[in-house]
Structure formats: structure tokens, C-alpha cells
Structure 1
Amino acid sequence: MRRAFAPWSDPNAKPLISFENITKRFGDAVAVDNLSLNIFEGEFFCLLGPSGCGKTTLMRMLAGFEQPTAGRITLAGQDLAGVPPYRRPVNMMFQSYALFPHMSVEKNIAFGLKQDGLPKAEITSRVEEMLRLVQLERLAKRYPSQLSGGQRQRVALARALAKRPKLLLLDEPLGALDKKLREATQFELMDIQHELGMTFVVVTHDQEEAMTMADRIAVMDQGHLAQVATPGEIYEQPKTRFIAEFVGDVNILEGNVMGQENGLWRVQTPSADAPLTIDDPDEVLHSGQAVAIAVRPEKMVIQRDPPGPNARNVLTGEVWDIGYLGDWTVYRVKLASGAILRVTRANASRFVENPIDWDEQVYVTFAPNAAVILAE
């Protein structure tokens, strides 16, 4: 069902959230610069980027904690200008969780409902529903100090969901969790979002977190949108060098376009003896143009023996470093040009006879369709 969910590709679909030419300045500093973006109902949307790129400022404007310097934000067709945070059908889950230490789990969850004046029976029913949803029924009477980091995170999520907002904003929601718990919680958040059919917008600087959870990702850079696309498109078809380098690991080979041959671009690079051949039909290039070739480490093949005479994209170098990560082995290969390649190989079997070792001469190859040409 998640794979079939793609309202952004339907020209007749109306967005739940629209940022229209939004600019936000703090004095002379521009945090968000003339940004336009649509987010659709039921979407798990991620704002991704390095610190200071403007992603948190954008979320805070949506929540009502900051006001745009220019432009407008609409939610379900309503212009949010002048609408205070407590009047917006939005809840925000903060990185710190901000739980009340003197209240039990169930009282923390019920707090916002009591503030809204809901009947006692409805409050009880919703708290029970939220406890079941986040699987904390046994811990309802405990206090935050008696909970683990993951359990506190679930309480904060339950409290944010209890008011049934149209939109839930999550600011670095998993930053305080350890790696294993963070990975498990990513899938729990996806399941909860899918079960409730609610719209989630999450801010993170963690690429893996964004790639795992989001239907779409907006990569931000210095207040601008660098690219908005699905995780697969962001990873496999980055539009700029910044995106290729920021999302995942990548090898960048500098070169100059020589022209096309049989539908493939030929690129001369100091990293290889022969021109590289790249299958990237989306690019419009001209001879002599300086470009960067981006190749992900897992799309490269490393071997001791010279490849056959018909092999394309052959790079020769020496194994500089080896890192064993359990599921993957990472090789850092130094080319004659001085460039360092990162090549990964899956450890599909427990034991490898005569494995590639440090200081060995090796050949690295990749298919023409494994690379992307970046003109920016």
C-alpha cells in the first residue's frame, strides 16, 4: 500500500500543506529563501539537511512558533497567517520529548485532552487507545524517570497523537536513542503513521532515518530546496553534487565530456587510462564540459585479476585500507591519480578463500548505468 501511495504525481490531487514563496530572515541572515513546497494528506514527509540549512525553521513556521518574513503557508486550504500555535490542527513532538516529570505516563498522555476540556470518559478512552498503540499499557502508572529512552519517546508520541491532529510534526524524534533502538523505532513510527492515516512531517539530519521512513524527502541546502523526491530517486538520481555527497556514500570522479558514442557519454578523467562510458540519457552535455561522475561504492566491483578486453570503466589502484563491518567489507583504493575510491562488497559467505588484502594491486570496474553525471 505504501508503494502505491503517490498523490504528488496526480495533477488533480490537492496538497494538505502548501508553502508558497516562503522567506524567513533573522536580521541579515536568510534562513529560508523563497521556498515553495507541497505536502499531501497521509504522507510521511521528511525535511533533510545539514545543520543550519533551514529545515527546523520551516517546521517552526508551520507549527506557528515563527512567522514568515514573506510568502504564505496554508493547511487544508486555510491561510495560517496570524493563527497562533494552539489554534492550529497541528501537534509537535520535540527532540527532548518535554514530558512532565511529576506526572505518570497516562497523565502525560491525557494532559492536552484535559486542557481542551474533553469529557472524562473520552479522555480515558483515548489514553487507553494510545497506550495500546505504543504498547505501554503495563507502564501506565510509571513516571518518566522510571522509563528508558525508547519508552519516553513512545510516551511523547502518544501524547502528540492523542489530540488527533491533522498533522504531526517531529523534530529529530529519534536523536536521543541508541542505534539499535533507533532502527526499531523507525519501523514502529511507519506502522503507526500508516495505521492512523495521519500526515507526518519529520525533521532530521540523519540520511538513513529519512531514507527508511519517508514517502518523500526534501533535501535542503542553505535555505533552498535542493531536491524533492522519493528516497529511491534521491539516492539513485541525485540532481546535484551536494545531494550525491550528502545522502549516502559516493565516489566522485572529475572529468571532461568527450562526446557520445552509441548513446553513451564518453568522459575523460585522470582517474582512468581509458575514457569512462556513462549511460545517463537525462543529461544534456557538450564536448569539453567539466563534469563529475558519481558512483555509489556498492555499485563498484573490486578484483585482483585484470578484467577482460571488453570491460568498461576500469580503474587501477592499490588497497589502502580495509574495514570489516560484518555485513559489508569496505575497501579504500588509492588510484594512480591520488584519488581514493570507497568500494563495498557484501559478505555473502562466512569465509572467503584468499581474500583481498592491504597493499594489493586491484582493479575496480562499474557498469555504464551504475553512474550518474553531475553537471552542477
Structure 2
Amino acid sequence: MKSLGSTRRTFAPWADPDAKPFIRFENVSKRFGDFAAVDNLSLDIYEREFFALLGASGCGKTTLLRMLGGFERPTSGRILLDGQNMLGIPPHRRPVNMMFQSYALFPHMTVEGNIAFGLKQEGMPKAEIAERVQRMLKLVKLESFAKRKPHQLSGGQRQRVALARSLAKRPKVLLLDEPLGALDKKLREETQFELVDLQYELGLTFMVVTHDQEEAMTMADRIAVMDKGQVEQVAPPQEIYEAPASRFVADFVGSINMFEGTLIREAGGPQLKDRSGLAFDIADSGDASPGETAWLAVRPEKVRISRERPEVQNAIDGEVWDIAYFGDMTVYNVRLDDGRVVKASTINSLRRLEDALTWHDRAWISFSADAGVVLTR
């Protein structure tokens, strides 16, 4: 089988001007009284894509998923699936299946009974149902649990049953609403990779809703970051993280240091002059014009911390205010003399650190000119 790594690197139908979207939201709005859960949103998703809707509670991501599944009706706009307008088509007639956060398994049915339920409702012959159920059990590695009931299973096993039931009807699109929320951290991390492998093996389009940024970054080909019923940015995970389109995206996805200032042009190149008079060298000013207010966003892992002043322009000293040790890495919060706090993270590549920085030590933080991204909104 082809490596998933190489497959995901080359899979980019959104970059092909001739590629046709498999799912299209056209100026879709959904209002509940005076509240706009989804506000004039347009979005294209491509066949075989693992697509993630990422955002905080109340941003509209689940409402968008439910409208595609047919459980909510748009107030305005169109939703197209494989070129067909979904308006007026009930959920059970759509080539879509939805896996709910609660899993919604039937407690009185066995594992195989739960998987077979939708197939029986469609009137599929018994022999075909049995064959399909066995295939699904094998797919999710639950063959030996076929006769058990949900209360006899672990959280991870129940999640697999719900997934198998959702896939049994062979939908064109599988919708997943916070599918891993009930799992513990270690199992959730393992299951993320299993879902990616499964999606590739089946060749389906997956659309997942999550508030967990790490989950979205791990699984998705592209991520739509949502806020207040609108899409802030749609891009592959690396672009979302390294080149956020706004302060909201930069702040929501990962940790960030934000320096506000005015863009200036110097002989040596562009700089951002902040409110305290510090001037930071920047490699790329982006869309910002000289004299315009802008923000320099720098990720903590791109900030170096040291006792001695480094020989670079972008260096500030302060006091180590807080330290968070995570095993593989340590995060330092350095409080500047003007009260601002800057985060710097370091990888713990050695078992022991001699003369390590500790609380209330004076320290220098620094970063290169190309470490950050300049934002204008």
C-alpha cells in the first residue's frame, strides 16, 4: 500500500483550478431567531478529503455539519453534494451518514445488531447484511466482540462500533461530530491515526467537527477555522499554523506571542516598531504598508531564551515569571519590564540541564527576522 505520508503530501485538489468541489456551501446562513449560527458562509470540500471544522463552542461548526446531514434546514443559501442540491432531501435519503458525539448505540442490541440496524431498515437481504457486518467488524478490529452489548465495551470499543455502523451503509460522506471526545488522551491519539488510515483505505470523504486543534492538525488534509458563524481561514494544517490569516486564527491554533506596533521601512529592511520603542526586524511585511498598525505573531518554539544577550536585533530581556515542565519540553513565561509576558519553549533533548534558568532569573528572549508572521487584522 502506498505510504499515507506521501499520499497526503501530493493530495491537493483544492490547488487544481479544474477540480470540482464534491461538497459546496453557497452563501449558507442559519438563524435561530435573531442569532446567526452560520452567517453567509461559502465553502468547498473535495472528494476523498479529510476535512475538519475547527472552532470554539457556538461558532457554528456543528450547525454546518447538521445542515449537510439534513438535520437542520438552511435559512438561506444552497448546499450541493456531488452537484445535487440537498434542499428538501431528508437525512435518510442523503448519501451521507453521521456519527454523533454520544455514539447513540442501542443498549439492548449486540455489537453486530447495532451495525446491522441501518441495513435492515433499508431492506437489504439477510445474507448481504451478514457479509457486510462481518466486513465492518474486521475493519474496526472487533470480530471477537460481535455478541457483546454496549455496556460490556470500553469507550474506545463503543466508538468503533458507532464508526462501523456509520460506515456500513457505504455513504459518500461520513460526518463526525466530536468523534473522539469521550476517549482518554492516549486512546484518542491512537484513534486519530486509525481514522486517517481508515479514511484512506475506504476512499471516502470525511468531515469532522472538533474544538481540539491537535486533533484537527493530526487528521485533516485541510482545516476551516470558524468564528461567529463564519470561516476565518481554510488551509492545510501547516499553513494554518505557520501562516495564520488573522490574529484570531493565530491565537486559536496553538500558543502565540503577539507584538503590536507600526510598520516602518529602514535601509536594512522592514521593521515593526512596538509601543515601547523596540524595533523588530522582519523578513516579510506581508500586506502591511509603512505607517500601518500591524501585529507580529511569533510562536513560542521559535523564541530562544538565554542568560546572555544574543547578538541579534530581535532581543529583549526580562524576568522568568513562570515555568511549565511537560517532560519533552519546557515553557518559560518571561515578564518584560513593561509588564508584558512572552512565552519561549525549549525541547528537553538532554536528561539533565546544568545551570538551568529558574523562577525570577533575568533572561534574554530572542528570535530571527523570519520567525514571525505580520498580520493586519
TM-score, shorter chain, exceeding 0.5 = yes
CA–CA distance in structure 2, aligned partners of residues 2 and 113 of structure 1: 32
CA–CA distance in structure 2, aligned partners of residues 320 and 201 of structure 1: 41
Paired residues for 1:273-292 under 5 Å: 274-287=278-291, 289-292=292-295
CA deviation after TM superposition for structure 1 residue 120, in Å: 1.2
Does 1:236 find its partner at 2:235? no
Give 3-state SS (helix, strand or coil) of 2:11's partner: coil
Asked if 1 retains the 8 angstrom alpha-carbon contact of 2:97 and 2:173, the reply is yes
Give 3-state SS (helix, strand or coil) of 1:368's partner: coil
CA deviation after TM superposition for structure 1 residue 265, in Å: 2.0
Does 1:268 find its partner at 2:261? no
Partner of 2:189: 183
How many residue pairs match? The answer is 371
CA–CA distance in structure 2, aligned partners of residues 84 and 274 of structure 1: 60
CA deviation after TM superposition for structure 1 residue 291, in Å: 1.5
CA–CA distance in structure 2, aligned partners of residues 25 and 274 of structure 1: 46
1:207-239: CA deviations, max 9, x gaps? 111011000000111011100000000000001
Paired residues for 1:289-300 under 5 Å: 289-300=292-303
Does 1:19 find its partner at 2:25? yes
Partner of 2:339: 338
Does 1:306 find its partner at 2:309? yes
Give 3-state SS (helix, strand or coil) of 2:135's partner: helix
Asked if 2 retains the 8 angstrom alpha-carbon contact of 1:270 and 1:337, the reply is no
Partner of 2:88: 82
Asked if 2 retains the 8 angstrom alpha-carbon contact of 1:54 and 1:220, the reply is yes
CA deviation after TM superposition for structure 1 residue 203, in Å: 0.4
CA deviation after TM superposition for structure 1 residue 119, in Å: 1.2
CA RMSD for the aligned pairs? 1.1
CA–CA distance in structure 2, aligned partners of residues 16 and 274 of structure 1: 49
Partner of 1:350: 351
Does 1:127 find its partner at 2:133? yes
Deviates more, 1:164-173 or 1:346-355: 346-355
1:66-91: CA deviations, max 9, x gaps? 11111100101111110011100000
Asked if 2 retains the 8 angstrom alpha-carbon contact of 1:259 and 1:265, the reply is yes
Asked if 2 retains the 8 angstrom alpha-carbon contact of 1:16 and 1:75, the reply is yes
Give 3-state SS (helix, strand or coil) of 2:10's partner: coil
TM-score, structure 1 as length reference: 0.97
Partner of 2:123: 117
Partner of 1:31: 37
Q: What one-letter code is carried by the residue in structure 2 that aligns with 1:13? A: A
CA–CA distance in structure 2, aligned partners of residues 208 and 261 of structure 1: 41
Partner of 1:107: 113
Structure 2: 5+ residue stretches without partners: 1-6
Give 3-state SS (helix, strand or coil) of 2:133's partner: helix
CA–CA distance in structure 2, aligned partners of residues 185 and 260 of structure 1: 51
TM-score, structure 2 as length reference: 0.97
Q: 2:16 aligns with which of 10, 15, 26?
A: 10
Q: Among the aligned pairs, what percent are the same residue?
A: 61
Deviates more, 1:110-119 or 1:160-169: 110-119
Partner of 1:43: 49
Asked if 2 retains the 8 angstrom alpha-carbon contact of 1:167 and 1:201, the reply is yes
Asked if 1 retains the 8 angstrom alpha-carbon contact of 2:37 and 2:59, the reply is yes
Asked if 1 retains the 8 angstrom alpha-carbon contact of 2:286 and 2:375, the reply is no
Q: What one-letter code is carried by the residue in structure 2 that aligns with 1:298? A: E
Asked if 2 retains the 8 angstrom alpha-carbon contact of 1:23 and 1:70, the reply is yes
